[in-house]
Structure 1
């Protein structure tokens, strides 16, 4: 999955990790540097790592902290809830998280809340390996609520700024065609 010019986000990892009171997985840091916040094939959104509490200036922004709280609220178990940190969402309303237990973030498993199945499933891999396994259809079954990325030979990533630039120019970012709704709903 190649990145594109202008992709990638610079993060103040010291501030992010201090705010979350934990280090983040190294593959996620590398993903953020190469790709940044954006979407894969108009289906799976990867969240920007921000200091705990989010950006605060946009009350509609549902960032990593808010989605992590949503994930925690969905964890229905009588035993102690694990610490969940959401890193992705998909168009099927699934939430992709790390189960952030333990001192080594590179060992945190991925857990996926399946909105359609109403259950959590755990995968013993990191974020990058998880995505590769989805793209290569290497799990026993697709962990996401839709088969859009399952076995995707050439997944495409668009950084959030590139998506916005294309929309602002009247182009659908995923089809490359003129967007018939461009400009209809304000800025």
Structure 2
């Protein structure tokens, strides 16, 4: 287990449950055109889906009640960026590169969302590197113009540790740092 994921387990007191659905990670390149970062895959295999402090929801390709398959989940996760939130960010970019200085996936090297909170903030991977384990995290904090964007040269698990630690004042409201909510609030899955 990677150090950052191991530390997230320790901080959360998480007991790895049985029955987290398996995700066909090896099929992701053919299914959605990308490989997911190793720390993200390990995080999902360890925690399943849910929220950090009951606020920052980690997007995942796990099955949902109602029959969504893991393969559909990967496609749905990628579509979330490409079709759901992508048009708004593309429109911002067309208006001014200051509003959105990044391309949006599926554009080459574009941002791909992996988490969001109830305030409308998003965490992305910047998919510029060929190796997904080298994708930095880019955060967009809604309503924080002109400083809405921040880049963190680290993986998502290490970034979540930074959020939980509360040492970066820019991330203070990303996941209710002063909340009494557990570090990890799991979401239930379909059997």
Q: TM-score, normalised by structure 1?
A: 0.68
Say which SS state the counterpart of residue 142 (structure 1) adopts.
helix
Q: Which of the two has greater helix per residue?
A: 2
Q: 1:158 to 1:4 in 2, by over 3 A?
A: farther
Query: For the residues of structure 1 that align with 2:165 and 2:185, how far apart are their CA atoms?
Result: 16
- The alpha carbon displacement at 1:68 in A equals 1.3
Q: CA 1:102–1:72 in 2, change beyond 3 Å: closer, same or farther?
A: farther
Superposition pairs of residues 28-43 of structure 1, within 5 angstroms: 28-43=40-55
Give the TM-score of the pair, scaled to structure 2: 0.66
1:11 maps onto 2:23 in alignment: yes
Partner of 2:72: none
Structure of greater relative contact order (alpha carbons < 8 Å, 6+ residues apart): 2
Deviation at 1:122, TM superposition (A): 0.8
1:121 paired residue number? 150
Alignment of 1:19-168 (within 5 A): 19-49=31-61, 63-69=76-82, 70-71=85-86, 73-74=88-89, 76=93, 77=97, 81=103, 82-118=109-145, 119-139=148-168, 141-143=169-171, 145-146=173-174, 148-149=176-177, 155-161=183-189
**C-alpha RMSD of matched pairs (Å):** 3.2
Structure 1, unmatched stretches of 5+, are: 57-61, 165-187
* Aligned residue-pair number: 153
The answer (yes or no) to whether the contact 2:139–2:150 under 8 Å persists in 1 is yes
Structure with larger Rg? 1
Q: Is the CA contact (8 Å cut-off) linking 2:54 and 2:182 kept in structure 1?
A: no
Contact 1:3 1:157 in 2 (8 A): no
Taking the aligned partners of 1:88 and 1:154, their CA distance within structure 2 comes to 18
User: Using the alignment, how far apart are the partners of 1:150 and 1:142 within structure 2?
Assistant: 14
Distance in 2 (alpha carbons) for counterparts of 1:20 and 1:122: 25
> Relative to structure 2, which stretch is displaced further, 116-125 or 25-34?
116-125
Which stretch of structure 1 is more off in the superposition, 79-88 or 21-30? 79-88
SS in 2 for 1:160: coil
